[in-house]
A and B are shown apart, each in its own frame.
Chain A
């Protein structure tokens, strides 16, 4: 089989299997909701639940069969050559440029402007996150936020929690594109400056200075940080051991055991 043919087979199989899995999932969910909605106060038996799920047996078994069959199918297909595509990281590229050169006017002014823009965007993000967090905490920490109606309280809180999450998320997505565009512009400005400087240097027969890469630049874990990390590790380990032993000695283990050896039915969704 040619490579093109193999790709086509993989693609078709992938699409068919994806559709089968999605159909099976939807059928399972619909069947479960259907079982629940059969009466005002349903008390089910195994037979009733089995009868409710029986109609969806075909799509579910079909999806399972396709999954298992696909595993064997791929035994006969050629091994797919893995390709690693390094994603573009504009910030890293820009940082590398700055290690090689320092922009001069007029490019430096443009760079400062872009850096200010990025700082403002990040600050804006911090403000949005802080604002949403404060707004949610103001709601959640009220005495009446959580009442004896536990599920109702959680649902009401989620009506506030989800928008407080969605806001910063939307800002983050927008900010990602704004920052990327800004970095791209700054990179172009720095490159332009480098080209211009090189041309000027050539005219005056001077060679541009190159800054050597600082081995300690930008990465985690050089030897001077090892001592503080070790100290923090040891301190946290000591605290952990102390808490464990103290909790054990004062009977903390009993409640954990009680919870673990009994089935809280609501905790596993039986309710």
Chain B
């Protein structure tokens, strides 16, 4: 019985995976309030796949940021590219084995005791699929649309199960986000189907997403051989017995190749102790059989101190985010309420003017749309608002953009809508912890979900609310009865 219970004690790698999953999602308050974290740490990309729309996420997803950077300023691409390159060269695919929260979820699912699908030549060939996904969904599609100023994170939108699980379901689970249920449509159906298939597939196939789908793992795998940390084979000792390959559940040809996630399962199984950890010996243990370092007590103390420090960092992070994250924002106005009045600065192609616009005081039917240049749905539906403004001169369309940089929106307006009848306005700059100051929030916007549209009659009373993308016909049906 003791032996069986011992198997329940997690290994060091499992503990590290749990640690980093908690650290990257340390905003536990987000699960209580249903709000995502909006602080400055979100500008830093975490190493693994962790959707930044997860209520607990405290950093940005690297693959989402990479796709977003194609349609943003070049400096964004340099910044994200630099971070990714550093992760690639320092850790390679060791991130997949030790740091990725979604990899941790897959490892846990695979522990469920069912018959397993073993690796073979077919799975080895299938492992090349993730490179095709990297090229098509992370490369060709986002870049093609970015050249037309349409931000499209195609992998996030059409494939990523982490986004559906952590972001979509994570937000839907909280009662504060009941309005999100009105957004469920074909895209959610497809992504839910894909997510369920992948998660159930992970029970039968070891790390199904990592091996066959994950473009981030594909990118890291290209640098596995030269990464600073990870596992490698000491060729002087290797007898090529193949035990390491048989122990490994991934589609490796040799230890440390593009499929290896440096989990270290092969280290103990090598009969000649030829598999070693790359990196400084201060942080990683030496293989058994090698002469014990004279200061083993020093090593034990160092490890104990490191463990305590890591726990302190985690506890500190959870505490910090609990204190600094905003409290639940009461979802405000509803249909039939008098809309909150606000003087929004008008933005033109030259930047902010001194003019302001208050959507409740136009004296006409007013359509208020909250959008951002970073949001593909927002950008895709903006032409419909432009068309409404043109077709119905008695209707005022106010497009309130939420970019932090006014210049980005101003450039966009100048290029795409130089002669529009829409009024572009700028929401107040986001300040840390001051979500309630956004006009978007005053009008009932929920936690930063865009696009968001409110239709007011000529008296400023809310008549319709749209929580997701709209088409021209939707706006027509909302506006015509009010004229």
Query: Could you write out 26 A-B pairs with CB less than 8 Å apart?
Result: A17-B114, A21-B112, A29-B197, A36-B186, A46-B181, A84-B243, A92-B242, A150-B150, A219-B233, A240-B89, A251-B73, A252-B69, A252-B72, A255-B68, A255-B405, A259-B68, A260-B57, A260-B61, A262-B375, A262-B449, A264-B374, A264-B375, A264-B376, A268-B171, A269-B192, A270-B183
B240 touches A259 (CB 8 A): no
Residues of B near A257 (CB, < 8 A) are 40, 42-43, 60, 404
Give the distance to chain A from B115, nearest Cβ to Cβ, in Å.
Answer: 5
Give the size category of B's interface with A: 35 or more
Interface code A226-258, partner B: CB below 8 Å = 1, 0 otherwise? 000100110011011111111110111111111
Flag if B164 contacts A271 (CB, 8 Å).
no
Q: Which of A14, A85, A145, A239 contacts B115 (CB 8 A)?
A: A14
Whether A254 contacts B405 by the Cβ 8 Å rule is yes
Closest A residue by C-beta to B155: A267
Q: Are B193 and A29 in contact (CB under 8 A)?
A: yes
* Segment among A112-120, A169-177, A189-197 that sits at the interface with chain B: A169-177
A256 near B85 with CB under 8 A, answer no
Mark the stretch among B74-82, B94-102, B291-299, B417-425 that contacts chain A: B74-82
Kindly identify, within residues 52 to 98 of chain B, every residue whose CB is under 8 Å from any CB belonging to chain A.
52-53, 57, 59-61, 64-65, 68-69, 72-83, 85-86, 88-90
What separation, in Å, do the CA atoms of A173 and B77 have in the docked complex? 38
Residue of B with least CB distance to A50: B181
Contact (Cβ within 8 A) A247 B4: no
Q: Which residues of B contact A185 (CB under 8 A)?
A: none
Question: How many whole Å from A37's CB to the nearest CB in chain B?
Answer: 9
Nearest CB in chain B to that of A28: its residue: B196
- Given the known inter-chain contacts A219-B238, A237-B86, A270-B188, please indicate yes or no for A256 contacting B45, CB distance below 8 A: yes
Instruction: Verify B145–A146 contact, CB threshold 8 A.
Output: yes
A169 contact set on B, CB distance < 8 A: 125-126
| Interface assignment of B303: CB less than 8 Å from any CB of chain A | no
The answer to whether B272 has its CB under 8 Å from any CB of chain A is no
Q: Is A138 an interface residue (CB 8 A)?
A: no
B125's partner among A145, A172, A263 (CB-CB below 8 A) is A172
Q: If the complex has contacts A258-B404, A261-B42, are A269 and B52 also in contact, measured as CB distance less than 8 A?
A: no
B226–A246 touching, CB < 8 Å: no
Bound Cα distance from A92 to B240, whole angstroms? 8
Partner of B469, one of A146, A262, A271: A271
B182 within 8 Å of A (CB atoms): yes
A74 to B43, CA, bound (A): 44
> Bound state CA distance, A165 and B126, in angstroms?
10
Which one of A18, A222, A268 has the greatest number of beta carbons of chain B within 10 Å?
A268
Contact A263-B167, Cβ < 8 Å, known A173-B125, A250-B78? yes
User: What is the distance, in angstroms, from A92's C-beta to the closest C-beta of chain B?
Assistant: 6
Q: Is B203 close to A, CB under 8 A?
A: yes
Closest to B269 in A: A84
B81 adjacent to A247 (CB under 8 Å):
yes
Q: Which residue of B lies closest to A41 (CB)?
A: B474
Asked if A22 is at the interface (CB within 8 A of a chain B CB), the reply is yes
Q: Any chain B CB within 8 A of the CB of A70? A: yes
Let me know if A215 and B235 touch, CB within 8 A.
yes
CA distance A94 to B183 in the complex (A): 60
Q: Within the complex, which residue of B76, B167, B236, B467 is in contact with A268, where a contact is CB–CB below 8 Å?
A: B167
Chain B residue nearest in CB terms to A219: B235
Closest 10 CB pairs of A and B: A247-B79, A244-B82, A243-B82, A252-B79, A247-B78, A269-B191, A268-B167, A252-B75, A240-B85, A219-B235
Contact call A25/B86, Cβ cutoff below 8 A: no
A221–B59 CA distance with the chains assembled, in angstroms: 36
Contact B189–A220 (Cβ < 8 Å)? no
**Residues of B close to A18: CB separation below 8 A:** 114-115, 204
B21 in contact (CB, < 8 A)? no
